[in-house]
Chain A
Amino acid sequence: MKTILAFREEEYAWVHEAFPCIHPLLLPLCNKPFIEFLIDFAIIADSSSLRLLCDGGFDAVERYCENGSRWGIDLSYGSIHPDDTIHAMLGKNRKFCGEERIMIISGFSFIRYDKRLNYKSLANTMAAGEWATCPGGRITLSGMPGKTPAHWVDAPLSLMPLDGMASYYRASMEALESGADRYVLPGYGDEPGCAFGRNVVISKSVEIRKPVSIGNNVQLLADTVIGPSAIIGSNVIIDRKSSVESSIVFDNTYIGEHLKINGRIASGNRLNDPKSGASIAMEDPHLLSGIKKKGVLRSFPRKFTHAVAALVMIAVLFIPFVILRSLLKLRGQWKSARTDFLSEATGMTMSLGKVELSTASSLTSIAAALSMDRYGWLFRVLTGQLALIGSKPLPAEKNRLEITRSALSYRPGVFSYAEAEEWPSSDGDATGGDAAIVERFHIAHSTPLSDISLIIKAFVNRFQEKSIL
């Protein structure tokens, strides 16, 4: 059997407004992209090949799903017209369909199924026509049915339209509560109702109330209460004494201290009420971006500590720097160019020398391990243009000037907090990148003393990472 998944842009237009950073077909339901639930169901119903059709772009989906080999199926892509009927879709995909039985899942809806039941024989033997339907969605079977088996077992199947934030919230909670018994859900856990991703750091005093689903790279700080019914995405920090109950926290979100999130969807710096559809963008020290910059006087101890530490590093690394740079320059492996980066002051830029080291030789790997490529930047700490540890400096591109204006917590540093925490590297996106979350957290919380230990960690981490190469 083969399956066609067909979507029209107008069916999921609301997702673009509510969650602009996510392709609607990758909208996470209980930490699993929507499209994967459909792929799972197609596989359970015995499909070996799947074709994804859409009347809009789905580049992001294609990059995520690729050719389907991850699921052991053959996945291909095609286009449809908004007004194409099921019959037209079958005609446009005649080569794909061949003579086989075809299941067409159309519309942006959540399929309620149970992975333990036998949908295979149903899909293969039911008469052609509608199998399940809901407003805006349907599952249709086409082609000659096979012989009805001797033991006919019905398997319930229903659809729930995902037509707005409220239904999305309901479907997510339903998936969480019915849990891994019915659906294939991500994460590991010793007991039912608790699924954890990789690299989840839980402080001792954290209270977890089932059911919960937690993604990868999550930090739950002291005295937080998670659950019941909490879905926490990946690259999330829940700060001290906050609670998340009956709520969804999207990937790359930082929940500030002393915050109660109940019955909400937190995504980036937006807090949504799924029932009313109301949404507010936070600009205060709670949900992520609104971390106010400290005044000149309050930042003096930090700047002083950073300058002293930078001086020590300049002195210690001076001799290795002179030797390695001369040798590498002679061998043509030390290439430097000036690049404009965004400075801490909103809308301003600064020019920094960027050194490219080829990793081809042992000498370059020693230089990289000792962070020689950043030696010149240490002097910028003395002049106060860079912190010794802070955010990864962002290249000054026009579209980014606006980004830093909205993301207040940007403090470019020689080393980044993400390097200290071995957080997955991002492309330096101040608004949504993975590393941006951990950087924001530390910029809000760091003290001169904690910075020193993080500088050492960052330096050592780079040393270990580069010396492996």
Chain B
Amino acid sequence: MTITETSQIGIAILSLNGTLDALSAPDFRNNRSVIDPEKSVVIDMENLDFIDSSGIGAIVGASRQKRQPVGGIILSCMNDRVRKVFEITNAQKLFHIFDDTIAAVDFAATRQSARA
């Protein structure tokens, strides 16, 4: 899996490409923006082809590290395959999920400014 990181209005956007499983989960977990409890992160999943419970665990774990667990990690552009794994584990309940990355960034920015 490759992680491409960009930033917009102070929000980190991590674009995941490939497979998020037990093998690639540590890369995600150790990402600087993911570790930073103050940083709001949008995870763009448009090119994420496959996720398993280890991948879900990594994202859930990351959200728990955030000062604001529900708003700290925001998910976008999930394909049906990834969405189904979220639903099986009920993990979708823990996140705000957008079908558009820009909309997710706007949402995160609004939340961040409200917090400030």
- A interface residue numbers (CB < 8 A to B): 55-59, 77-79, 81, 91-96
Chain A, interface SS category? mixed
Across the interface, B96 reaches (CB within 8 A) one of A56, A81, A94, namely A81
Given contacts A77-B83, A79-B83, A91-B107, contact A55 B93 (CB under 8 A): yes
B98 touches A94 (CB 8 A): yes
Chain B residues whose C-beta falls within 8 Å of the C-beta of A55 in the assembled complex: 93
A93 touches B99 (CB 8 A): yes
Across the interface, B99 reaches (CB within 8 A) one of A57, A59, A81, A92, namely A92
Chain A residues whose C-beta falls within 8 Å of the C-beta of B98 in the assembled complex: 91-94
A59 touches B96 (CB 8 A): no
Residue of A nearest to B92 (CB): A79
Residue of A nearest to B74 (CB): A92
Contact with A along B76-103 (1 / 0, CB 8 A): 0100100110111010110111111011
A56 to B86, CA, bound (A): 11
Total count of chain B residues near the partner, CB < 8 A = 21
Residue of A nearest to B84 (CB): A59
With A77-B83, A92-B107, A94-B103 known, 5 other A-B pairs at CB within 8 A are A59-B88, A77-B80, A79-B93, A79-B95, A92-B96
Ordered by A's residue number, 9 sampled pairs between the chains whose C-beta atoms are within 8 Å are: A59-B84, A59-B88, A91-B103, A91-B106, A91-B107, A92-B96, A92-B103, A94-B99, A95-B77
Residue of A nearest to B89 (CB): A57
Chain B, interface SS category? helix
Chain B residues whose C-beta falls within 8 Å of the C-beta of A92 in the assembled complex: 96-99, 103, 107
Given contacts A79-B83, A91-B107, contact A96 B90 (CB under 8 A): no
A95 touches B100 (CB 8 A): yes
A96 touches B97 (CB 8 A): no
Residue of A nearest to B86 (CB): A79
Residue of A nearest to B107 (CB): A91
CB distance from A391 to the nearest CB of B (A): 32
CB distance from A203 to the nearest CB of B (A): 46
Across the interface, A95 reaches (CB within 8 A) one of B92, B99, B106, namely B99
A77 to B84, CA, bound (A): 10
Chain A residues whose C-beta falls within 8 Å of the C-beta of B106 in the assembled complex: 91
Chain A residues whose C-beta falls within 8 Å of the C-beta of B93 in the assembled complex: 55-56, 79, 81
A94 to B70, CA, bound (A): 20
A95 to B98, CA, bound (A): 9
CB distance from B82 to the nearest CB of A (A): 12
Interface-central residue, A55, A58, A77, A95, by most chain B CB under 10 Å: A95
A55 to B87, CA, bound (A): 10
A78 to B103, CA, bound (A): 15
Chain B residues whose C-beta falls within 8 Å of the C-beta of A56 in the assembled complex: 93
Chain A residues whose C-beta falls within 8 Å of the C-beta of B97 in the assembled complex: 78-79, 92
Residue of A nearest to B96 (CB): A81
Residue of A nearest to B87 (CB): A57
Chain A residues whose C-beta falls within 8 Å of the C-beta of B84 in the assembled complex: 59
A96 to B87, CA, bound (A): 20
A84 to B58, CA, bound (A): 25
A57 touches B90 (CB 8 A): yes
CB distance from A93 to the nearest CB of B (A): 5
Given contacts A91-B106, A91-B107, contact A78 B90 (CB under 8 A): no
- Return the 8 tightest CB-CB contacts between A and B, nearest first: A94-B103, A95-B100, A79-B92, A94-B100, A95-B99, A79-B97, A92-B98, A57-B87
A95 to B83, CA, bound (A): 16
A57 to B84, CA, bound (A): 9
CB distance from B112 to the nearest CB of A (A): 15
A56 to B92, CA, bound (A): 8
CB distance from A27 to the nearest CB of B (A): 20
A96 touches B80 (CB 8 A): no
Chain B residues whose C-beta falls within 8 Å of the C-beta of A58 in the assembled complex: 87
A147 to B103, CA, bound (A): 29
Residue of A nearest to B75 (CB): A79
A57 to B106, CA, bound (A): 27
Chain A residues whose C-beta falls within 8 Å of the C-beta of B88 in the assembled complex: 57, 59
A275 to B99, CA, bound (A): 43
Contact with A along B34-50 (1 / 0, CB 8 A): 00000000000000000
A193 to B80, CA, bound (A): 41
